[in-house]
Structure 1
Amino acid sequence: MKYTYENVTNIFNKIVLFCKVNGKFEYTNLECNILEEYGKFDTCMLKSVNRTHKYATVKLIAAKLLNNIKTNMRFLKRLNGYKPFLYNFTVDTCQFLRNPKGRNKVSDFFFGLIGPYSNLNHSCPLKDILVDKVPISFLSHQLSKVLPVPNGQYKIETYWLIDGAHVADVFISFRLF
């Protein structure tokens, strides 16, 4: 069977029919790490304003201009530990930021989760990176209506490589119920 975008989408939609998808999103953890010579995370937090308004903020202060960046992203689901779920891909971040639409639908979708709330609106070199106040209401809509993800506990792991060396990672854990 040849795997095309349409075939994979049809298979995924059939799986979703057998899984319960309600679309309530809740952050459970956010972790940011970087090698000291590349900068520091000034902010890496989940904030709860009240019961319904919660958001995530990440602010990286780079020690120098960042070029030749690649990002590896893994989407994991918790099943007796975190196991791969759907996606594990690497993207040339600088090339993606030069032309963010249309190259890779998966990259477009995941960038769309943070793009409206970030300062990543230009290509490399990057200095300071800010992803500010990504609300649960937006993510809940994206992960239930746009890409209906089944209920469960999930983790998105991003590994940042500069000149081929692993220098930073950002992990976000959440649950859908």
Structure 2
Amino acid sequence: MKFTIIRVLAIILMAGEDRGDIVTRHTNVKCEIFDKSFVEFPVCRLKVLGRGIIGENVYIKLLKLPVKAIMLNFGIYKKLSGYHPFLINVTVDFCHYIKHPNPLTVFHLFYSGFKSYINLNHTCPYNVSTITHDIILKDFVLTDQMYAKIPLPKGSYMFSLKLGAEGVWRGIVYSYFDINVDNNPNIHF
């Protein structure tokens, strides 16, 4: 009788244990505009693409063209008692990076992760002569391979991407996500 109760409790605990099935997932996305005459965010939301698969969609509409200089400031914040800076906070001249990509920079690791989901892939200037001058991030899903070179410990994080043009900050996108890499047996460092 005692052995059966212990076995049942062990099975219940093992069934309730997180096995790493959901390793990373988006939890929220927020977009904030600093200059409403320059940029707007018609779409800034998460979309459920399947069971346990959440895609991030952000549509950035540029209102004043041409844009000759783009700056990006990105940072990672970890949730402790509020969100605090964690590991990375870098500002990049995006126009220079697109002309001369450097695979040794931290920005290259992050950009290569979402490059296939975004149309921000040509050099400056962004002007009327191009087919679409709006920036579209569509169905961006976090994958395990994104954390192979920069492993982040288990926890809740916020990724901020501040957008600047012509030397002035125009808007910011906050992407919130959870990581459960510690319990995933498929990731080896």
TM-score relative to the length of structure 2:
0.74
Identity rate, percent: 30
Aligned residues: 152
Residue identity matched to 1:97 = I
Q: Is it true that 1:150 corresponds to 2:153 in the alignment?
A: yes
Q: Is it true that 1:27 corresponds to 2:26 in the alignment?
A: yes
Structure holding more helix per residue: 1
Q: Give 1 or 2 for the bigger CA radius of gyration.
A: 2
Partner in structure 1 of residue 122 of structure 2:
122
Residue 119 of structure 1: SS of its match in structure 2?
coil
Shift of 1:49: 2.8
- Taking the aligned partners of 1:92 and 1:32, their CA distance within structure 2 comes to 21
Shift of 1:98: 1.6
Residue identity matched to 2:76 = F
- Taking the aligned partners of 1:28 and 1:157, their CA distance within structure 2 comes to 14
- Taking the aligned partners of 2:177 and 2:91, their CA distance within structure 1 comes to 22
- Taking the aligned partners of 1:74 and 1:109, their CA distance within structure 2 comes to 13
Partner in structure 2 of residue 36 of structure 1:
36
Structure 2 residues not aligned, in runs of 5+: 1-19, 127-132, 181-189
- Taking the aligned partners of 1:49 and 1:71, their CA distance within structure 2 comes to 28
- Taking the aligned partners of 1:163 and 1:172, their CA distance within structure 2 comes to 24
Contact 1:43/1:57 (<8 A) preserved: yes
Contact 1:46/1:57 (<8 A) preserved: yes
Residue identity matched to 1:51 = R
Residue 125 of structure 1: SS of its match in structure 2?
coil
Shift of 1:164: 2.1
- Taking the aligned partners of 1:161 and 1:59, their CA distance within structure 2 comes to 16
Partner in structure 2 of residue 46 of structure 1:
46
Contact 2:39/2:171 (<8 A) preserved: no
- Taking the aligned partners of 2:53 and 2:176, their CA distance within structure 1 comes to 17
- Taking the aligned partners of 1:141 and 1:165, their CA distance within structure 2 comes to 34
Partner in structure 1 of residue 7 of structure 2:
none
Which residue of 145, 164, 167 maps to 1:164?
Answer: 167
Partner in structure 2 of residue 6 of structure 1:
none
Contact 1:30/1:46 (<8 A) preserved: yes
Contact 2:39/2:170 (<8 A) preserved: no
Structure holding more strand per residue: 1
- Taking the aligned partners of 1:157 and 1:39, their CA distance within structure 2 comes to 17
Residue identity matched to 1:105 = T
Partner in structure 1 of residue 145 of structure 2:
141
Residue 124 of structure 1: SS of its match in structure 2?
coil
Structure 1 residues not aligned, in runs of 5+: 1-21
Regions of 4+ moved over 6 Å:
none
Residue 115 of structure 1: SS of its match in structure 2?
helix
Partner in structure 2 of residue 12 of structure 1:
none
- Taking the aligned partners of 1:67 and 1:43, their CA distance within structure 2 comes to 24
Partner in structure 1 of residue 107 of structure 2:
107
Partner in structure 2 of residue 81 of structure 1:
82
TM-score relative to the length of structure 1:
0.79
- Taking the aligned partners of 1:74 and 1:128, their CA distance within structure 2 comes to 23
Shift of 1:50: 3.0
